[in-house]
């Protein structure tokens, strides 16, 4: 259970971009909690991406700002430089990319970082990578990009799969939320939403739509709202 409740909602956003600041304002307004996955060697850098014909900013939060920007939420690892981990043949380099990022972020955040999201899309992890991380780093859970569409708990937290990806499954977002809110259950269930805050800039009206989503799911007496750590490691 999650603080005495059977249902929990948690968010996870990747890359540590400056759009996270606006997103956190929305989360804080509705008392929602999120985990933010950062690449420590990219912090403070500036960049632009082309997505769906739009040029959008992909600027990273400054390292000295990590502690206060993400205050009240959770900082988690995303590797040092965002490589596709299964493509790295050297086991030690896989470990270094994860563990050094975790240590760097722990110093910046002021507490021990223990979570992670795998970088890159597609097949971004496998059994070898997950085993290396589980046995050689301080990471206690690691999120995949694959989504399940359901709310069931998962035993393998080092290849954890979220419920829904906010951008790629936008039309299903409210539908899935309605299903979760109406759910009556006597067993623990998790609604896990993940994405990238810069994606809201592709269609700026989605910032407002996402705020409506956050308002819609918030303040429910039968739901616990927590970070990935608080939800995935509940009772462990």
The domain limits of the chain are: 7-232
* pLDDT the model gives residue 1: 85
- What fold characterizes domain 7-232? TIM Barrel (3.20.20)
Tell me if 116 sits within 8 A of 78, measured CB to CB.
yes
Tell me if 76 sits within 8 A of 232, measured CB to CB.
no
* pLDDT the model gives residue 67: 98
The span from the CA of 182 to the CA of 179, in Å, is: 5
* pLDDT the model gives residue 169: 86
Instruction: Report, as ranges of residue numbers, the positions in the chain whose pLDDT lies below 70.
Output: 235
Contacts for 194 with CB less than 8 Å, ≥ 6 apart: 11, 12, 13, 14, 117, 143, 145, 147, 162, 164, 165, 166
* pLDDT the model gives residue 111: 98
* pLDDT the model gives residue 64: 98
Longest Cα–Cα distance in the chain: 48
* pLDDT the model gives residue 133: 98
Q: What pLDDT, in 10s, does the model give residues 57-104?
A: 999 999 999 999 999 999 999 999 999 999 999 999 999 999 999 999
Q: pTM of this prediction?
A: 0.97
* pLDDT the model gives residue 171: 86
Q: What pLDDT, in 10s, does the model give residues 106-116?
A: 999 999 999 99
Tell me if 165 sits within 8 A of 147, measured CB to CB.
yes
């Amino acid at each position: 259970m999650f603080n005495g409740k059977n249902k929990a909602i948690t968010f996870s956003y990747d890359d540590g971009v400056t759009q996270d600041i606006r997103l956190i304002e929305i989360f804080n307004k509705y008392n929602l909690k999120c985990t933010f996955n950062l690449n420590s060697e990219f912090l403070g850098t500036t960049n632009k991406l082309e997505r769906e014909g739009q040029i959008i900013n992909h600027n990273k939060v400054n390292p000295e700002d990590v502690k206060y920007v993400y205050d009240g939420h959770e900082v988690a690892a995303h590797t040092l430089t965002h490589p596709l981990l299964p493509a790295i043949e050297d086991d030690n380099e896989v470990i270094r990319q994860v563990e050094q990022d975790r240590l760097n972020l722990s110093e910046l955040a002021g507490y021990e970082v223990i979570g992670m999201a795998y970088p890159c899309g597609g097949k971004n992890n496998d059994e070898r990578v997950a085993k290396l991380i589980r046995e050689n780093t301080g990471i206690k859970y690691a999120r995949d990009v694959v989504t399940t569409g359901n709310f069931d708990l998962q035993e393998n937290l080092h290849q954890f799969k979220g419920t829904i990806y906010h951008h790629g499954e936008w039309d299903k977002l409210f539908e899935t939320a309605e299903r979760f809110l109406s759910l009556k259950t006597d067993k623990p269930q998790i609604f896990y939403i993940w994405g990238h805050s810069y994606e809201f800039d592709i269609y700026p009206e989605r910032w407002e739509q996402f705020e409506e989503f956050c308002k819609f799911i918030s303040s429910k007496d039968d739901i616990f709202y927590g970070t990935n750590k608080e939800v995935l490691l509940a009772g462990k």
